[in-house]
């Protein structure tokens, strides 16, 4: 039992399964966070391997960017407990919590997470009149909230040993980021952290690109094929008379679409399917249909999946189908079969 890590007094079920398995599997489909938040973790920790499939239409949120960094020039100090706190950050966090609770739906949840217990205790006192949950990253493991405020604490005047500890805590920061479903607000000294090595510095560097397009959805070789198909559709749409209003390479609420057709009524999102490549065909089709449904949940009238080969074979037929169907609300989904 000891060799197989089956002794429950010393080993977890995870260790037992890990010992018994002949390989490690990445749980690469993500359903919790808004795509903009999930992509931060995807870029920083997973090398773009995650497929984000969160249904944004069900999120409790306000009309703000999903991920922001609010700069605060605070001074970290070390109380007798040996931990660290930052009073300026704590005061700002308390203000952010009040604003979120005032603007979010009544049933929405707000949390505050920080790497240091002293900061957690300070923020807890400032927020004791609210129903916000305040904790260290370790206490939030496995938990989640609609909006999460992350207090970095570290900054100017912190000794190098403390800064190095913050920079090395990749798993800690990954947990902190992915506790947020709808909104992630980072509070800290942005100018200090920007350009510094480590996880916090990388997050600071990403702060200006929080609304940037997601990582490529497929490998570079298949992206090239989709790009050729998109170029052919683009040229065909440009030559069509009367013209069709459209935009190319659009991100709708965190989800990519190759074309967004904008007639006089509701917009229609177009997703080009590059083919299954090395994936299991059934899983590829399921993911493509999930992406289509997630796009439809971003407020477009319809989202359509079109195999890229159709655009490569006869782009005029694809555009002709659009022209015939755009004015018939509700029938466009039958024009191109999802198969």
Q: What angle do CA 230, 233, 235 make, to 5 degrees?
A: 110
For residue 224, the enclosing domain spans 220-334
> Could you tell me which residue, 212 or 18, shows the higher pLDDT?
18
Are residue 107 and residue 157 in the same domain, yes or no? yes
DSSP string for residues in 160-215: HHHHHHHHH-HHHHHHHHTTEEEEEEEEE-HHHHTT-SSHHHHHHHHGGGTTSPPP
Q: Give the closest residue to 139 by CA, choosing from 185, 176, 91.
A: 176
- Residue holding tokens 């920079």? 167
CB burial of residue 240 (10 Å; 0-12, 13-18, 19+): middle
Residues shown for the chain: 339
- Residue holding tokens 């191109």? 336
Asked if residue 293 lies in contact with residue 281, where contact means CB atoms within 8 angstroms, the answer is no
Is the pLDDT at 123 greater than 90? The verdict is yes
- Residue holding tokens 């989904």? 333
Confidence of residue 331 (pLDDT cuts 50, 70, 90): very low
Asked if residue 176 lies in contact with residue 139, where contact means CB atoms within 8 angstroms, the answer is no
d(CA 80, CA 194) in angstroms, rounded, equals 30
Q: Is residue 214 part of a domain?
A: no
- Which of 162-171, 223-232, 299-308, 323-332 is least confident? 323-332
Q: Last residue of a domain, which of 185, 209, 233?
A: 209
Angle between helices 199-206 and 160-168 (to 10 degrees): 70
Q: How many domains does the chain have?
A: 3
What percentage of the chain carries pLDDT values higher than 90? 58
Q: Is residue 315 part of a domain?
A: yes
Instruction: Considering only CA atoms, give the Rg of the chain.
Output: 24
Q: Is residue 339 part of a domain?
A: no
Q: Which residues contact 157 (CB under 8 A, 6 or more apart)?
A: 75, 76
Q: Give the closest residue to 151 by CA, choosing from 125, 128, 117.
A: 117
Are residue 59 and residue 96 in the same domain, yes or no? yes
Convert the pLDDT of each residue in 42-78 to its tens digit.
988 988 899 999 999 999 999 999 999 999 999 999 9
What percentage of the chain carries pLDDT values higher than 70? 90
Are residue 40 and residue 165 in the same domain, yes or no? yes
Are residue 106 and residue 165 in the same domain, yes or no? yes
Give me the CATH number covering residue 35.
3.40.50.300
Q: Is residue 22 part of a domain?
A: yes
> Can you give the pTM of this predicted structure?
0.85
Q: Is residue 295 part of a domain?
A: yes
Q: Which residues contact 234 (CB under 8 A, 6 or more apart)?
A: 248
The pLDDT, as a whole number, for residue 6 is 86
């Amino acid at each position: 039992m000891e060799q197989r890590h089956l002794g429950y007094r010393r080993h977890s079920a995870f260790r037992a399964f890990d010992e018994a398995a002949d390989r490690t599997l990445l749980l690469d489909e993500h359903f919790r966070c808004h795509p903009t938040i999930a992509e931060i973790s995807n870029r920083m920790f997973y090398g773009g391997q995650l497929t984000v499939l969160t249904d944004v239409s069900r999120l409790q949120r306000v009309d703000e960017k999903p991920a922001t960094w609010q700069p605060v020039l605070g001074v970290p100090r070390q109380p007798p407990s040996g931990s660290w706190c930052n009073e300026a950050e704590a005061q700002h966090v308390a203000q952010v919590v009040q604003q979120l609770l005032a603007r979010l739906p009544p049933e929405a949840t707000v949390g505050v997470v920080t790497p240091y217990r002293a900061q957690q205790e300070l923020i807890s006192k400032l927020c004791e009149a609210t129903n916000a949950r305040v904790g260290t990253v370790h206490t939030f493991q496995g938990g989640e909230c609609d909006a999460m405020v992350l207090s970095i604490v570290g900054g100017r005047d912190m000794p190098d040993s403390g800064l190095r500890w913050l920079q090395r805590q990749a798993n800690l920061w990954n947990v902190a980021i992915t506790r947020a479903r709808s909104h992630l607000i980072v509070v800290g000294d942005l100018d200090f952290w920007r350009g510094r090595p480590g996880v916090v510095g990388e997050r600071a560097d990403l702060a200006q690109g929080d609304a940037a397009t997601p990582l490529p959805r497929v490998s570079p070789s298949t992206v090239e094929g989709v790009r050729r198909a998109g170029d052919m559709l683009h040229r065909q749409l440009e030559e069509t008379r009367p013209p069709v209003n459209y935009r190319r390479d659009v991100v709708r609420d965190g989800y990519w679409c190759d074309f967004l057709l904008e007639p006089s009524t509701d917009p229609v999102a177009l997703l080009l399917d590059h083919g299954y490549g090395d994936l299991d065909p059934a899983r590829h089709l399921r993911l493509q249909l999930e992406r289509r449904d997630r796009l439809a949940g971003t407020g477009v009238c319809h989202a359509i999946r079109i195999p890229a080969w159709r655009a490569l074979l006869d782009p005029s037929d694809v555009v002709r189908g659009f022209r015939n169907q755009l004015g018939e609300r509700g029938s466009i989904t039958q024009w191109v079969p999802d198969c």
